[in-house]
Amino acid sequence: MCLAVPMRVEEILPDDMAIVEMGGVRKTVSMALVDGVVAGDYVIVHVGFALTRLDAEEAHKTLALFAEIAQTAGIANPGAG
């Protein structure tokens, strides 16, 4: 099973790379597969690659669902932040 998560682009780096963030977790990922991404955009990230840009409203809905799942399971909130 694969899981791709919405993450907010914090900073665009050289060489098609960017720093993304979700719930306080920051990660450097490749932007090679997505054109025109700017800081503040949301992207779907899987195994270190941004796969597509995501509308902010849809990203917030997905992160809210992650938070609900975490609360139901009694684990730390993965979408907080």
Q: Residue 32 has what pLDDT? A: 97
Identity of the residue numbered 26: R
In 14-58, beta strands by DSSP E: 17-22, 25-30, 42-46, 49-54
Residue 6 has pLDDT above 80, yes or no: yes
Residue 78 has pLDDT above 60, yes or no: no
Structure tokens at 61: 């809905």
**79 band by pLDDT with thresholds 50, 70 and 90:** low
What's the pTM value of the predicted model, to 2 decimals?
Answer: 0.82
CATH of 5-73, one of 3.40.50.200, 3.40.50.300, 2.30.30.140, 3.50.50.60: 2.30.30.140
